[in-house]
Amino acid sequence: MTTYLKDEIPERWHYRNNRCIPEILVVADDRWSLITKPHATAEGERTHEETFWQRGSHGYDHAVETMHAIFYARGPAFKKGISIPTLSNIHIYSLIAEILNLIQRLTAVSIRCGLC
């Protein structure tokens, strides 16, 4: 795990300037989870209430490859049989708007990404 002071949180996360962010942030390493309750009894036997059930994970560094999503596309707007490098989710809005010939609402993200 990695611990950050608020002003040391990586800038690429766009996370540290919010007033709701604590002064110290602890981030689990890739493929690990941090939990706040033990999941076994003192005797070492698990009970239903104490079993840790992971229902999903978020909050990890989006630069870590295991956090990248799979994006499949099919139709007349896409070339067949190709693979592209990693695509950031923030670019999907622009992609869909272009395919549907919609006028995009300019946002800070679309202006920064340079694809719009």
Dump pLDDT digits (tens) for 41-85. 445 555 555 555 566 666 678 888 887 888 888 888 888 888 888
pTM of the model: 0.55
User: Which of 1-10, 30-39, 76-85 shows the lowest per-residue confidence on average (mean pLDDT)?
Assistant: 30-39
Classify 3 as helix, strand or coil. Answer: strand
Mean pLDDT of the region 15-31: 87
Alpha helices in 1-116 (DSSP H): 92-99, 108-113
Please state the domain extents for the chain. Answer: 1-66, 69-116
Q: Which helix (H) or strand (E) segment is 25 a member of?
A: strand 24-27
Q: What is the pLDDT of residue 53?
A: 58
| CA 23 to chain CA centroid, nearest Å | 21
Bridge partners (DSSP) of residue 62 are none
Contact between 9 and 25 under an 8 Å Cβ cutoff? The reply is: yes
pLDDT of 115 higher than 80: no
Measured CA to CA in angstroms, residue 14 lies from 10, 11, 115 at distances of: 8, 6, 19
The pair of structure tokens assigned to 65 is 């490859």
